[in-house]
Amino acid sequence: MMNYNKHLLGLSILSMCFPVLSEALPEGATKIPSTPEIPNRLSIEYFSPDQIFEFKKLDHYSEPKWLTDNYVKTGKLPPVEQRLPEAPMVMKTASMPDGVGVYGGVLRQVTGGRPQGWNWSAAHSQGWGGINYIVQQCLTRTGPMYQLKTDQLQVLPNLAQSWEWSKDGKTLTMHLLKGAKWSDGVPFTSEDVRFYWEDTVLEPRVPSFSSQNALGDGAKLTIIDEYTIRWSFNKPFQNQALYNMAFMTFCPGPAHVLKPLHPKYNNQATFEDFSNALPANEVPTVTMGPWVPVSYKEDQIILLRRNPYYWKVDEKGNQLPYMDEVRYKLSTWESRTLETMSGSADFSNMENPPIYIETLRKLAASNSPTRAMFGPRNLAFQIQMNMNPTLSVRDDREAAIRQLNRKLKFRKAISHAIDRKSLGQALVKGPFTAEYAGGLHPETAFYRQSDVVYYPYNPRLSKQYLAELGLVDSDGNGVVNFPDDINHGDDLEIVFNSGNGTADSVFNDNLVSMMADIGIKLIPRLLDSVQGDSARDAGDFDWRLNRSDKELIVPMQRMEWLAPIAQSGPVWHRGTANNPQVLQPFEQKMVTLAHEIFAERDNKKQADLIGELNHEMTKNVYHVGLVAYPGALLVNKRIRNVPNAPITAYQWAEDAVMRERFWVPKQQQLKGLKPHTVPEYE
Ligand code: BQZ
């Protein structure tokens, strides 16, 4: 049997023979070249799910001594055994790299994002970089799945501690963790789940990270009792449901806090008020996570302290987390890596190729404070060309661009205009980058070279295609013109949304000149992280530069990136009630394939269907692949219980490594900014 997870991490060469597609390649297309493996890649230790955690009542529980002294003895908090669920989640010693830990210390993190607020039920981000992963706890968990043995691969429980499918596969009954409490002591129950689903996901006036069909075809929820819920679907075995109940699509917010702010329960409130509720400066916020944001200073810091109601313990009964404080410096993504290299921060996904050489040099020093784990080429960049004919369209030019983006010949012309080898070397010299045709990332589980159709560098063919589309330089200024009856025959100018980091500027410089070579004027529009995300979510772009990660590694969990199964995606063909998606025949075909993939229970057949989907995606240049590249996880050597992990697989490393188990030996612990305190609510 193939080791699914090994392949996910790109650690071995596929030994099975897959059917080679017999269909002839389209004009100009080739097979994608293979690339040499990255040397010294990380090795992963594999476990069964019950070696990672189990739900179990223990005889005895404990907590940091200061917590008992300052809060329990003074009557501010009930004793620890009353704060924990009936049977808490027990994190097992077997899978801890350094075993049971000691309490105390500070984890110093950095993010390039900024918190929009704490109302994630209304699609607020808390600033990425792993803060979202702390405050949003979900029914299931996928991050640590990268460590599961192949034959025991399953979506992991979290706030839903177990579930079962009915015989006909059309209903899924889930049991919630009994007696778990929010950080303010209020019980977590099925009412939190119901409110999240009915009043935020299904409520069209509330923006949401999720949608009904993304969860499973025709998903409906019934509340059985306080701790039991039941899903029913139109189609059997909607396996993607369990993936989509993990981060970031099924993490209920606190109903007791949110209901009074929601118009259905409060006739003074509006939907706009609700969406803007819980701004970033309203702390402490209420969460099920291991740490709770207790202070926020704009563009400076988010400080988090341990949650005294957290529902996990180790095998000795010590309530988790071990570390008392987490600090998030609000800075840039690049400084996250540079600070972690120099030892002033503890954790970074190294993902910005232009700084790789410098960080490698620093890592080589014998006194480097940082441990680095190199992964496979599981990150990639692509150009997303907006295919919704009307969404956020303001003028004739934008409307004309959308029509062009919808033409396969145009997308092929763009793909043939890109010299990916030069682009890769401009990003970082050496063996890191690989030519990428779009679709699933190379060196990951479901990727098969034989599925991919590649339209490589061939500017002559690009120009021919543009001419065939009627795009010729009629005024002799070097830029092709629209035909006279479209957009006033103006020059073909395309606005290109990107971020403002160094990788973005490398892409901008190179793509501007590659497009100029075929007569297209590319105009970069530099946006910060928050602006970029909101332009993306509003469908407000001609083209945008995108850095993809987990969504193009494990298709089951973000199928809308591969096929438009719901209005919510893909990002480049999003639809709304007023500006719906207008699907083309190849997109319809991809939607059909996606539904076959969901329902297929045989692993091998499912892998073949995914291969077929990837074939359609690349053959139709659904997005324009640029380069694929590896990342590395950097962690300060002071931190214990850090397993080897790729920076992204099922989720980002921040979820995969289980920070609630991190600990630091006493003599190496840093002093907290708010020592010996837990969040206090009015
Ligand atoms: C990792 C991640 C954790 C989002 C974000 C950010 C947003 C996107 C994407 C990554 C950041 C880090 O990625 O780059 O290394 O820490 O946060 O959530 O790029 O702007 O919207 O999809 O995951």
- Does the Cβ of 132 fall within 6 Å of ligand 1? yes
Give me the pLDDT at residue 88, please.
98
How many angstroms separate the alpha carbon of residue 378 from the centre of ligand 1?
14
Q: Is the separation of the CB atoms in 664 and 638 below 8 Å?
A: yes
The phi, psi pair for 193, rounded to 5°, reads -70, -45
Decide whether any atom of ligand 1 lies within 6 Å of the 652 Cβ. Answer: yes
Quickly state the pLDDT bin for 599 (edges 50, 70, 90).
Answer: confident
165 forms beta bridges with 172
Torsion, Cα of 526, 527, 532, 534 (10° steps) = -130
Report the candidate in 205, 647, 573 with the shortest Cα–Cα distance to residue 406.
573
Which residue's alpha carbon is nearest to atom 7 within ligand 1? 128
Q: How far is the CA of 128 from the centre of ligand 1 (A)?
A: 5
For ligand 1, the distance from its centroid to the CA atom of residue 482, given in whole angstroms, is 37
The residues pairing with 174 across neighbouring beta strands, listed in sequence order, are 163, 229
Closest C-alpha residue for ligand 1 atom 18? 128
Residue of 376 and 191 predicted with greater confidence: 191
Q: Which atom of ligand 1 is nearest to the CA of 529?
A: 20
Minimal CA–CA distance to 247: which of 112, 134, 357, 94? 134
Residue minimizing CA distance to atom 8 of ligand 1:
533
Q: Which amino acid is at 256?
A: H
Q: What token pair was written down for 653?
A: 């490393």
Mean pLDDT of 60-80: 98
Does ligand 1 come within 6 angstroms of the Cβ of 348?
no
Cα–Cα distance between 60 and 203 in angstroms, integer? 44
Those residues whose C-beta lies under 8 Å from the C-beta of residue 623, and which sit 6 or more positions away, are 382, 383, 384, 385, 438, 546, 570, 572
Nearest CA to ligand 1 atom 2: 129
Q: Is the CB of 340 under 6 A from ligand 1?
A: no
Rounded average pLDDT over 484-491: 97
> Residue 331 has what DSSP assignment?
-
Output the CA torsion 616→618→621→625 (10° steps).
Answer: 150
Mean pLDDT for the chain? 94
Q: Mutate which of 209, 336, 352, 652 to test ligand 1's pocket (most atoms within 8 Å of Cβ)?
A: 652
Residue nearest to atom 10 of ligand 1 (CA): 129
**Is any ligand 1 atom within 6 A of the Cβ of residue 454?**
no
563-573 pLDDT per residue, tens: 999 888 899 99
Q: What is the pLDDT of residue 8?
A: 58
pLDDT of residue 7 exceeding 90: no
The length of the chain, given as a count of residues = 682
pLDDT tier for residue 134 given thresholds of 50, 70 and 90? very high
pLDDT in tens, 213-255: 778 878 999 999 999 999 999 989 888 999 999 999 999 999 9
Of ligand 1's listed atoms, the one at least distance from the Cα of 536 is 21
What is the C-alpha to C-alpha distance for residues 277 and 636, in angstroms, rounded to an integer? 36
Contact assessment for residue 633 and residue 471, using Cβ atoms and an 8 Å cutoff: no
Structure tokens at 262: 């929601």
pLDDT in tens, 75-112: 999 999 999 999 999 999 999 999 999 999 999 999 99
How far does residue 506's CA lie from ligand 1's centre (Å)?
20
- Which atom number of ligand 1 is nearest to the Cα of residue 533? 21
Q: Of all atoms in ligand 1, which is nearest to the CA of residue 547?
A: 19
Say how far apart CA 255 and CA 194 lie, in whole Å: 9
Q: Which of 17-31, 57-71, 276-290, 310-324 has the lowest mean pLDDT?
A: 17-31
**Hey, which bits of 325-378 come out as E strands?**
325-330, 347-350, 370-374
Q: How confident is the model at residue 3 (pLDDT cuts 50, 70, 90)?
A: very low
Q: What share of the chain is helix, strand, coil (3-state, %, to 5)?
A: 30, 20, 50
Higher pLDDT, 467 or 569: 467
Q: What is the 3-state secondary structure of 20-64?
A: CCCCCCCCCCECCCCCCCCCCCCCCCCECHHHHEEECCCCCCECC
Strand ranges for 568-678 from DSSP E: 624-629, 632-636
**Cβ of 662 less than 6 Å from ligand 1:** no
